[in-house]
Amino acid sequence: MHTGIDSFDISSTVTRLKRLSLALPERAQHQRHQITFTRLMDLSMQRIEVMSRSDVQDELLVASRILENAQAYCRWESEHALVMKRVAEQRRVPLQTRELLSATFELIHRRSLFAHLREQHVVGARREMLINHFFAHHGYSRGVIAEHGVFLRSSASLACSSYLGTDLLHDAVFQQPLQDYEHMYAAYFNAYCEQVLVARDEEWSRVARSVAYSLKCDLAMLRRSIIGVANRLSVEDASRLDANGWR
């Protein structure tokens, strides 16, 4: 069974995270002052505009679909504002970083179904079976339309969150570690979907469950490692800010 993770090495990501944790004092100097909701939204809008002129096809497609439809844009803006408000409400930058990281995990999860259908070229009866599994009470057509919208909005917000974490907060966990997490989550989700599709075949179903469980355990370890670095940054920076009277 192909899961799309043949060459993934979780140990290399964990090693990178350990190196990042050793560099926390340097990372903490980039952004000291609480970031406002207005700034988070302004930078997000700028990121979507840049994506709309991107040479990267996936970025261009997502941004164009969001910007070319007023209703789609308003809905994305409303949902993204809720995410940014959660970040802005945190009183210190380290806590804002942790909240943004949490939101980024959620966005990776939310876009996973349509991303799986698209990237694995799932069509026909297999596609219908998966949509019916996740949208049992909505019907196939409504399920596909709804999930496509979720994919576009989540992808746009994910691009913004990654940009904010990397270019505004200068936090390296938003670079390769989160890319590795996204890659591994896609592999886990692929295995989960395969489990759904082969449910009537007892032997293949057992294999699919085993693969999905193994990936889920690795995924949990990777997520704990990423959050551990972010939490350590939050605790150490909070102590440093208090010691220097930064409120």
Is the pLDDT score of 31 beyond 60? Answer: no
pLDDT of residue 202: 80
Is the pLDDT score of 205 beyond 50? Answer: yes
Per-residue model confidence as pLDDT tens digits over 61-101: 999 999 999 999 999 999 999 999 999 999 899 899 999 99
How many percent of the chain have pLDDT more than 70? Answer: 81
Residue 121's contacts (CB-CB under 8 Å, 6 or more residues apart) are none
38-64: average pLDDT:
97
The two structure tokens encoding residue 212: 């999905």
Q: Please state the pTM of the whole predicted model.
A: 0.83
CA 167 to chain centre: 16
